[in-house]
Amino acid sequence: MNKKIIVAMVTVTLLIGGYIYVSPYIMLNNLKSAINANDSAKVASYVDFPSVRQNLKAQMNTYLTKQMDPSKHEGMEGLGQMFALVMVDKITDLVVTPEGLTLMMQGKTVNLNLDSQIKNTNNPIQVQPNQTATENYSTQYLSINEFEITIATQEKYKQVKVILERDGLSWKIIKVSIPMDKNQNL
């Protein structure tokens, strides 16, 4: 085979391999730009919302179930515990929005403005004014098709973990692990 063809094939192979390796970092850079610009629509294009909602609902249900006191399953306390489990779906649907994910990925705390939900206004998510975006994060490949971003929150012992999954040549956020308490090891 001609030496030029071999060199060209090796070059193309290295370029494709290099792109495949750096593609989550390119997506992360684009995502950071969208987050810093508060461009929730662009953030939404990188997210598989049904997967993220399902994942967060499972996390919250598991946490609430662990927190329930088995001796209090009767009476008003038991009713309150059951009500909390039912509310998980509604709260998760309110938080897992382009705006809510933008705040979480900035390392900010998401606060729900329930008054606005009662009044049916369009902005149920509020940010505390003293919060600033974080730049403290680390990244790693979990497998050839999964990539993890660990974001430090304003409380040093808490970290938000974002899992990306390869979607063709691009990446989508499929899972967000939020810290439920300081002892939780995500």
Instruction: State the Cα–Cα distance between residues 161 and 59, nearest whole angstrom.
Output: 13
pLDDT at 18: 93
As a residue count, the chain comes to 186
Whole-prediction pTM? 0.71
pLDDT at 113: 52
The answer to whether 141 and 147 are in contact (CB under 8 A) is yes
pLDDT at 115: 45
Within the chain, strands assigned E span 111-112, 125-126, 137-143, 146-152, 159-167, 170-177
3-class state of residue 57 by DSSP:
helix
Residues with pLDDT less than 70, the chain: 1, 69-75, 77, 105, 107-135, 154-157, 181-186
Residues whose CB is less than 8 angstroms from the CB of residue 65 and which lie 6 or more positions away in sequence, other chains included: 85
The answer to whether 146 and 165 are in contact (CB under 8 A) is yes
Residues whose CB is less than 8 angstroms from the CB of residue 159 and which lie 6 or more positions away in sequence, other chains included: 150, 151, 152, 153, 179, 186
CA-based nearest residue to 46, from 92, 95, 105: 105
pLDDT at 74: 64
The answer to whether 149 and 162 are in contact (CB under 8 A) is yes
